[in-house]
């Protein structure tokens, strides 16, 4: 079995199992039965935002390499500006807190926890009686990817592991070399500003807080996982603190804009907690 197939199989097994357990414990059998009976109609209702997300993902997958070339030739060269701004912060994080147990935890969270964090809310919000929240979520995902792709093209910057290889270790690959087969398929070495792992995780965390009445158990779980992913991006030497701050800003902007696009301007707060 190839390394890529091995990682994908492991990812599908663990994330699928986690989704099954979380669905029963957090969504509940009643909502799951209702979702099963009404799945086709609910998917039809969210077809437009879902189609937009698929288009953005396909564009990202197809154009990622070409856009990186454009970024390298014409983009803003910000690697050293970022380094001058924050210095050896990421190196300090690794030197101060690095340990085999933390490396194993953050590596697992960065890959397995991240996929679960993004997948579960789609299922959970699709199971709500109204599709408003899942529409907002899908639109927010699409905005994160679309704006992120633009910024990746406009800004050309390498991560700390590339700039300071003698001080920052690529812990994700050092302790989990098989992950390189997966990340190599979805990332470019200059895809650092902003951190999409951060922006999408914070997006999920924000939605979890906004929907805490519907899924109170999910809120602390999402907050913990989202925070862990954000820290992991720096601990593993993948992103700068600057990337994380930009990713957080992107997430908050995407969530706010998703409310406006789905509900109409001025209606952001009217529907929070009213899915039942």
In a domain, 30, yes or no: yes
In the chain, how many domains are there?
Answer: 1
Query: pTM for the whole thing?
Result: 0.87
Q: Is residue 219 part of a domain?
A: yes
- Nearest Cα neighbor of 132 from 19, 258, 23 is 258
Residue 175 belongs to some domain of the structure: yes
How sure is the predictor about 23, in pLDDT bands with cuts at 50, 70 and 90?
very high
Say if 38 falls within a structural domain: yes
Domain contains 149:
yes
> pLDDT (tens digit, 9 = 90+) per residue, 42-95?
999 999 999 999 999 988 888 777 777 787 878 788 888 998 989 999 999 999
Distance between CA atoms of residues 247 and 230, nearest Å: 9
Question: What's the chain look like in SS3?
Answer: CCHHHHHHHHHHHHHHHHHHHHHHHHHCHHHHHHHHHHHHHHHHHCHHHHHHHHHHHHHHHHHHHHHHHHHHHHCEECHHHHHHHHCCHHHHHHHHHCCHHHHHHHHHHHHHHHHHHHHHHHHHHHCCCCCHHHHHHHHHHHHHHHHHHHHHHHEECCCHHHHCCCCCCCHHHHHCCCHHHHHHHHCCCCCCCCCHHHHHHHHHHHHHHHCCCCCCCHHHHHHHHHHHHHHHHHHCCCCCHHHHHHHHHHHHHHHHHHHHHHHCCCCCCCCCCCCC
Residue 217 sits in a domain whose CATH number is: 1.20.144
Per-residue pLDDT of 105-133, as tens digits, reads 998 899 899 999 999 999 999 999 999 99
Residues 6+ apart with CB under 8 A from 32: 23, 24, 127
Would 174 be classed as within a structural domain? yes
- Expressed as residue numbers, the domain containing 232 is 3-263
Does 178 have pLDDT greater than 90? no
- ∠ at Cα 251 (247, 255), nearest 5°? 170
pLDDT over 80 (residue 191): no
Would 137 be classed as within a structural domain? Answer: yes
What are the distances in angstroms from CA 131 to CA 116, 141, 213?
Answer: 21, 16, 16
């Amino acid at each position: 079995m190839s390394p890529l197939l091995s990682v994908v199989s492991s990812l599908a097994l663990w994330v699928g199992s986690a989704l099954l357990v979380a669905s029963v414990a957090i969504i509940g059998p009643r909502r799951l039965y209702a979702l099963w009976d009404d799945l086709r109609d609910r998917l039809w209702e969210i077809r437009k935002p879902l189609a937009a997300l698929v288009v953005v993902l396909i564009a990202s997958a197809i154009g990622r390499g070409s856009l990186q070339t454009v970024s390298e030739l014409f983009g803003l060269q910000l690697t050293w500006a970022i380094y001058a701004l924050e210095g050896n912060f990421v190196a300090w994080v690794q030197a101060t807190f690095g340990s085999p147990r933390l490396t194993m935890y953050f590596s697992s969270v960065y890959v397995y926890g991240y996929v679960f964090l993004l997948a579960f809310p789609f299922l959970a919000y699709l199971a709500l009686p109204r599709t408003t929240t899942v529409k907002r979520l899908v639109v927010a995902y699409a905005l994160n990817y679309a704006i992120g792709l633009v910024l990746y093209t406009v800004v050309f910057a390498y991560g700390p592991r590339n700039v300071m290889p003698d001080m920052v270790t690529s812990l994700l690959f050092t302790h989990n070399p098989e992950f390189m087969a997966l990340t190599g398929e979805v990332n470019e070495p200059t895809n650092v500003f902003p951190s999409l792992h951060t922006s999408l995780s914070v997006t999920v965390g924000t939605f979890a807080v906004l929907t805490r009445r519907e899924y109170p158990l999910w809120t602390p779980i999402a907050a913990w996982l989202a925070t862990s992913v954000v820290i992991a991006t720096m601990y593993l030497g993948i992103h700068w603190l600057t990337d994380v701050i930009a990713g957080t800003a992107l997430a908050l902007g995407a969530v706010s804009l998703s409310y406006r696009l789905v509900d109409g301007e001025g209606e952001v707060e009217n529907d929070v907690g009213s899915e039942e």
